Structure 1
Amino acid sequence: MHAFPIRTERMELIPATVKLYLLDLHDRTGLATALNASVPGEWPPEQITSEVIEEFLKLMRAGDRKVWSFYWLAQPDDCDPNVLIGSGGFLASAKGGLELGYSVLPTYQQQGYATEAVRSMVEWAFSALRIDHIIAYTYPHLIASIRVLEKNGFTFTGNGPEEGTITYELRNRPEN
């Protein structure tokens, strides 16, 4: 059994649901209430467009689970409410395994949040979904994204599927 939310040192990772995605698209106040968190005015991150959310909804509603994603809530040191700072998750890859994606609001970048969240999501995926590898695509100029992947054990494997992208991969190494 894998308990949710996933807890890290500074965050909670809340599984995205159809309801949460619909709130994200249409009711920011409702999303804040459902997550019990503050939703900054700069939400969502640049890569999380309404088209992306609609595609995730389509996959989730199809019944054959092909997407597992999480809202990232930072837990402030003081008594302030949690803050929605990013999201990330996995798509089932056509080549087997999973494809990783993640995004953090600019205000919370360069603070280790993505590294921390990706580490926890990868541990969860290898344990709960019992897959053997995870791939991630990025661009060579996105140095911070590459560092997140490298800090989590991903290695460069070559060009990505879209022009100008590169691929990183992490293989599951089960304990013997």
Structure 2
Amino acid sequence: MPEFKTERLEMHTLTADMMAAVLKGGQELERIVPFDTGAEWPLEVYKNLFPYKIERFRDFPSENDWEGLIVDKTNKKIVGDMGFKGGPNEEGVIDLGYSIIPSCRGKGFATEMGKAMVEWGLNQPGVKKVMASCSPDNSASIRVLEKIGFQPTIQTDDSIYWLYY
């Protein structure tokens, strides 16, 4: 993923080596990145995916081009992560996913970087649409996706599926 900036944030590539450092624990990640990693990142649900993602990134290096760390420009703290879950599928659809650490929620970070990521994603070869999904109970993510410009398309008991047109 190319590194880019918004008004308050920076996007930096999240590599397999970074994920492996997180899994080692302690301050391993801070030894290889110039960011304040803090104690809140990554969220446990995302960290649990790291073994799978490490293997995928090593087997399919191009998938690494689609995920990154969100860093606050003012203090160089990791405030979250965002990406497109491995790149476009056979129909040219990319699937946006993200998480923001609890102490940085409600500040508009997901919306700000989400808008930039959607714009970047739609300019990549082979990409035709951007989708996202969230739980119907996740009112914060619903607001973020609406602010980015996604439209709900399908709702089940477990998920709302969104498309960006």
User: How would you bin the TM-score normalised by the shorter chain?
Assistant: 0.7 to 0.9
Q: Choose the corresponding residue for 2:137, options 131, 134, 141.
A: 141
Residue 22 (structure 1) aligned with residue 16 (structure 2): no
> Does the CA contact (< 8 Å) of 1:59 and 1:65 recur in 2?
no
Cα distance change on mapping 1:65 and 1:140 into 2, 3 Å = same
Report how far residue 111 of structure 1 moved.
0.4
> Does the CA contact (< 8 Å) of 2:129 and 2:163 recur in 1?
yes
- Further displaced range: 25-34 or 12-21: 25-34
Matches for 1:1-80 after TM superposition, within 5 Å: 4-50=2-48, 52-63=49-60, 65-66=62-63, 68-76=66-74
Partner of 1:168: 162
Number of aligned residues? 162
AA of the residue aligned to 2:163: E
Q: Cα deviations across residues 45-78 of structure 1 (Å, max 9, x unaligned)?
A: 243123x1122222212226345110111122xx
Show structure 1 runs of 5+ residues with no match. 172-176
AA of the residue aligned to 1:144: A
TM-score by length of 2: 0.87
SS in 2 for 1:149: helix
Cα distance change on mapping 1:28 and 1:115 into 2, 3 Å = farther
The 2-side partners of 1:120 and 1:165 are apart by: 24
Percent of aligned pairs sharing the same letter: 27
AA of the residue aligned to 1:126: L
The 2-side partners of 1:35 and 1:120 are apart by: 23
AA of the residue aligned to 1:132: K
TM-score by length of 1: 0.82
The 2-side partners of 1:105 and 1:36 are apart by: 18
The 2-side partners of 1:39 and 1:129 are apart by: 32
The 1-side partners of 2:55 and 2:122 are apart by: 24
Residue 122 (structure 1) aligned with residue 118 (structure 2): yes
- Further displaced range: 116-125 or 53-62: 53-62
> Does the CA contact (< 8 Å) of 2:4 and 2:11 recur in 1?
yes
The 1-side partners of 2:29 and 2:134 are apart by: 29
Show structure 2 runs of 5+ residues with no match. none
Please provide the CA RMSD for this pair. 2.0
Partner of 2:79: 85
